[in-house]
Structure 1
Amino acid sequence: MPHEARAVIAVKKGAPVEVLPVLVPDPGPGEVLVQIQACGVCPTDLRHRDGAAGEDFPYLLGHEAAGIVEATGPGCGELAPGDYVVLAWRAPCGTCRSCRRGRPWYCFDSRTAQGTPTLLDGTPLTPALGIGAFAEKALVHARQAVKVDPSARPEAAGLIGCGVMAGYGAAVYTGRVGNGDTVAVIGCGGVGNAAIAGAALAGARRVIAVDVDSRKLDAAERFGATDTVNSRWTDAVAAVRTLTGGHGTDVTIDAVGTPETFRQALDMRDLAGVLVQAGIPDRDQHVDLPLHDLFSRGGALKTSWYGDCLPTRDFPVLIDLHLRGKLDLEAFVSETILLDDVEDAFGRLQRGDVLRSVAVL
């Protein structure tokens, strides 16, 4: 029997979100029903609200969440009611051509629940990123629910479900930052600061934070930045090259995703350096580059999908790092809010006033 729950809905493109009652189905085979405890306000939710991520309105927003398993369908393995989980928006299928090649982080057929939440009048909803966790209850595939240590507060733990994992993985897995490397991170929001933290944990000797907002640069130092560059007032490429002895960085991570920041990241690299594209560009953005520039500098240009992570492997590790005091997840939580406050939180996110607002249920 469907479960009624309050949820944040993007009813139509660009309109303010609404908190409405919805019906969430019982879990079917391989599915779990999760009682959501906390869900972060991520820029991707804003992209869904504004139609930049697609036109499948109405959307059930929210995906950066932690909660308690309330019920399971058949075939859910070791998951059981009462388990404390973080939700993942990518869940490798294990059978697609990428998974079979031993690259499950690129899974081309990620699992999501087949049950469809609806409004009370029966209108089907599209769960953003296959989750829809700005709700009292969420239906997800069992592989999207990753058990973690319940000692971590849900307000902090849920953030590894998207932004923290995307940034950390961009540095550690996509960029392969190693001991002694120099790293620049452009954009010091949630993803960028997680990349800074990941680079620091991986042993980078210099981690340079680049942003146009001095408040974000101050925060970046807390996550492990050794140097900061305010690109509103300074030529960021020149500043990074000066800080690296004129050479440029071994790894540069663009956590913004605009043509301007991509070009900056490209030019900040040392010879044979790596550029990691972690920020999500708009569909209509383009970059025009001389092909010889790409060839002559060598190295690699990489797109980071969800930090090239394996949630079942990486979520518990990040939680353990947090509980051991090595990764401060609490520092990403700028404020806690209610579901009714999500629209206002979008405004604070756009203004750069917060790293993450977290809705607590």
Structure 2
Amino acid sequence: MQEIRAVVAMAKDAPVTVETIRVPDPGPGEAVVTVQACGVCHTDLHYRRGGITDAFPFLLGHEAAGVVESVGEGVGSVGPGDFVVLNWRAVCGQCRACERGEPWYCFSTHNAARKMTLADGTELTPALGIGAFAEKTLVHAGQCTKVDPAASPAAAGLLGCGMMAGLGAAINTGQVGRGKSVAVIGCGGVGSAAVAGSRLAGASRIIAVDIDDRKLRWAEGLGATATVNSRQQDAVEAVRELTDGHGADVVIDAVGRPETYEQAFYARDLAGTVVLVGVPTPDMKLPDIPLIDVFGRGGSLKSSWYGDCLPSRDFPMLIDLYQQGRLDLDAFVSEKIGLDDVEEAFERMHDGDVLRSVVTL
């Protein structure tokens, strides 16, 4: 058992606080990781607001990289000293998705069984089973993916959630390839990663759509060939004009609202693909899209879960591309902050001032 400092959301909508928490020794199949960096993601803000569950108090943080300190019985995949990126989909290898060879859809992912607690023994709920706004955290060993230790922890950790979601939405779910046209609606962290992923995959046209010129400039720097401010132009008409009147082959909705999904639906070419990677709230419902349009336009309407990634396959590959200079993960690190600065980072993220604030330890 160790006592360390960590960022905790004690109650719904209350500002986060830095608390002393207790991290138990790892049990069978578990690992304790010394956290080196952890990105500030919208999902953490959703937890703080009570928008995911009401299982307060929450130990926040999940886009993390660090070094394995110790492992429990039966762990052979990682060991002390390994540099790892943490993931929140440790596949089981036994569910129906895994058995049919699609582990990226695993329906029974693993988390640590032992509980981290406040100093008074109150059990904490770790965000996405990770809880990495902390000096150390306890996870299932399957949540640890070894990558090149020469990579920057601040950049590498971002693959743990938002960057992987966007990159994977383009590459894995949307199957963007050489010569295809892509439109990305919403160019925050996830959308900008989808732009970068489309460029990496060889897309010929990459159209970034947002209402904020700052975000459109970020998208241009990451590979967008054209930008559309949808406050000033009709997004569907603009995308069609930029694709010879046809619409894009793949349209990625990185916002997750009914109005942006409708834009994505009509901004694609016939037989094109829509990918929903932005996360809607439970109260949102699809607009009144005529069913004949769903039939008549053909193609695919897909949802992307965590970029449909397999961490053991995708994280090392993407880190290699980063090390080769082909994937600029550093461009997503807007600022480096400390544990005491997370609440202020939430405000900057909400206002759209950063792609990612990263807590470094």
Tell me if TM exceeds 0.5: yes
Q: Distance in 2 between matches of 1:24 and 1:163?
A: 26
Is 1:317 the equivalent of 2:295? Answer: no
- The Cα shift of 1:246 comes to 0.6
In the other structure, the counterpart of 2:225 is 226
Q: Distance in 1 between matches of 2:195 and 2:181?
A: 11
In the other structure, the counterpart of 1:136 is 135
In the other structure, the counterpart of 2:210 is 211
Q: Distance in 2 between matches of 1:191 and 1:346?
A: 16
In the other structure, the counterpart of 2:61 is 62
Give runs of aligned pairs for residues 54-203 of structure 1, distance below 5 A.
Answer: 54-203=53-202
- The Cα shift of 1:233 comes to 1.1
Q: Distance in 2 between matches of 1:4 and 1:196?
A: 41
Is 1:351 the equivalent of 2:351? Answer: yes
- Which amino acid counterpart does residue 125 of structure 1 have in structure 2? L
Q: Distance in 2 between matches of 1:69 and 1:316?
A: 16
In the other structure, the counterpart of 2:338 is 338
Say which SS state the counterpart of residue 52 (structure 1) adopts.
coil
Give runs of aligned pairs for residues 260-339 of structure 1, distance below 5 A.
Answer: 260-288=259-287, 289-339=289-339
Q: Distance in 2 between matches of 1:200 and 1:338?
A: 32
Displacement over 3 Å in runs of 4+? none
In the other structure, the counterpart of 1:18 is 17
- Which amino acid counterpart does residue 298 of structure 1 have in structure 2? G
Residues 77 and 141 of structure 2 are in contact (CA less than 8 Å); yes or no, is this contact kept in structure 1? no
Residues 106 and 308 of structure 1 are in contact (CA less than 8 Å); yes or no, is this contact kept in structure 2? yes
Q: Distance in 2 between matches of 1:53 and 1:232?
A: 30
- Which amino acid counterpart does residue 302 of structure 2 have in structure 1? K
In the other structure, the counterpart of 1:4 is 3
Q: Distance in 2 between matches of 1:234 and 1:75?
A: 58
Unaligned runs of 5+ in 1: none
Q: Distance in 2 between matches of 1:78 and 1:20?
A: 31
Say which SS state the counterpart of residue 85 (structure 2) adopts.
strand
TM-score by length of 2: 0.99
- Which amino acid counterpart does residue 186 of structure 1 have in structure 2? I
Residues 209 and 230 of structure 2 are in contact (CA less than 8 Å); yes or no, is this contact kept in structure 1? yes
Say which SS state the counterpart of residue 6 (structure 1) adopts.
strand
Say which SS state the counterpart of residue 164 (structure 1) adopts.
helix
Residue deviations 1:262-289, cap 9 Å, x none?
1110110100100000000011111132
Residues 178 and 203 of structure 1 are in contact (CA less than 8 Å); yes or no, is this contact kept in structure 2? yes
In the other structure, the counterpart of 1:51 is 50
Alignment size in residue pairs: 360
Q: Percent identity?
A: 65
Say which SS state the counterpart of residue 315 (structure 1) adopts.
helix
Q: Distance in 2 between matches of 1:113 and 1:236?
A: 44
- Which amino acid counterpart does residue 296 of structure 1 have in structure 2? G
- The Cα shift of 1:15 comes to 1.0
Q: Distance in 2 between matches of 1:340 and 1:82?
A: 27
- Which amino acid counterpart does residue 131 of structure 1 have in structure 2? I
- The Cα shift of 1:80 comes to 1.1
- Which amino acid counterpart does residue 51 of structure 2 have in structure 1? A
Residue deviations 1:213-237, cap 9 Å, x none?
1011001011111111011111111
Residue deviations 1:145-190, cap 9 Å, x none?
0010011110111001111111000000000011110000011111
Q: Distance in 1 between matches of 2:12 and 2:232?
A: 35
- Which amino acid counterpart does residue 308 of structure 2 have in structure 1? D
Residues 52 and 283 of structure 1 are in contact (CA less than 8 Å); yes or no, is this contact kept in structure 2? no
Q: Distance in 2 between matches of 1:222 and 1:338?
A: 27
Unaligned runs of 5+ in 2: none
- The Cα shift of 1:331 comes to 0.2
- Which amino acid counterpart does residue 268 of structure 1 have in structure 2? A
Residue deviations 1:34-85, cap 9 Å, x none?
0000000000001111111111111100000000100011111141111100
